[in-house]
Amino acid sequence: MITGLSKVLGVLNIALLFLLLQVTKGIAQDVSRIDAGRPDKSQGTSVVPKGLVQVEAGLQYQKDDLNGQDVRTRSYPTMTLRYGLLNKIELRIEGGLQDSVFNERGSSSRTRGLGPVTAGVRYVMWSGKGIIPDAAFTGTVTLPVSNALSPPDPEAMLNFGFSNTLANWLSLTYSVRYGWIYRDTELRYAADLRADLSKTFSMYIEYFSIEESSAAVRHHADVGVLWFPKANIQLDVSAGIGLNEAAPAYFATTGISIRLPH
């Protein structure tokens, strides 16, 4: 497992170095406020501006009741690297370290290591106008890293995201995602309503569901607050609950997103 972890960390370091080198070659652009993919689960429609890099990192905690076991999972840090390849295309790679503790009838066990590593691309299909939403396609592949927390074979995920501007301060983002995981299929729906409270603060409420062909559907709801101290920096915190017995009891996350060099 150590060998596999070292290889993946080496690949991540090389990718980060490459992206930073590309940034230093770029010419300054007039870009808007950062639009990060975290902490909500609704896959948005924005891409990182051409030639820029966006780093999104966070900490996550989740409590679950899995087949009579009390499962507490910590992910620290989760990280996503996004690079604006073209005006409508970005490249992305994401991963993180996970630490899960399983408690059952007075005994406990622990699993820790590098979580699933995914690589992919996002393409802006069209820009919306009026009631027609912005639309983007995101395709990712989870890589078979050599440890217990990663899949034995590559797993593909296809996501279609949409967003509508309802007012100057209010927007609706929604997405549908379909993928193949652990020799099973998974369908996800998500929608969040986001309001700009001021130039530096936003808030959202969200619903999302996860359905696997061999398990009961899981329904969730969460709320989050975003702070933008600068146009290229986002700080966030969010928390949510499961809406049915199959879903986790609760979960929370906090993190930071930075777009480089500006």
Name the 3-class secondary structure at 224. strand
> Domain map of the chain by residue range?
2-27+39-260
The predicted-structure confidence for 4-45, as pLDDT tens digits, reads as follows 445 544 555 555 555 555 544 444 455 689 999 999 999 889
Q: In sequence order, which residues have a C-beta less than 8 Å from that of residue 197 and are 6 or more positions away? A: 203
Can you spell out the DSSP letters for 104-172?
Answer: ETTEEEEEEEE--EEEEEEEEEE--BTTBPEEEEEEEEEE--SSTTS-SS-EEEEEEEEEEEEETTEEE
Distances (CA, A) of 212 to 81, 139, 226, 238: 28, 19, 31, 25
Average model confidence (pLDDT) across the chain: 88
Class of domain 2-27+39-260 (CATH, top level): mainly beta
User: pTM of the predicted model, to two decimals?
Assistant: 0.85
Peptide bond connecting 77 to the previous residue in cis, omega within 30 degrees of 0: yes
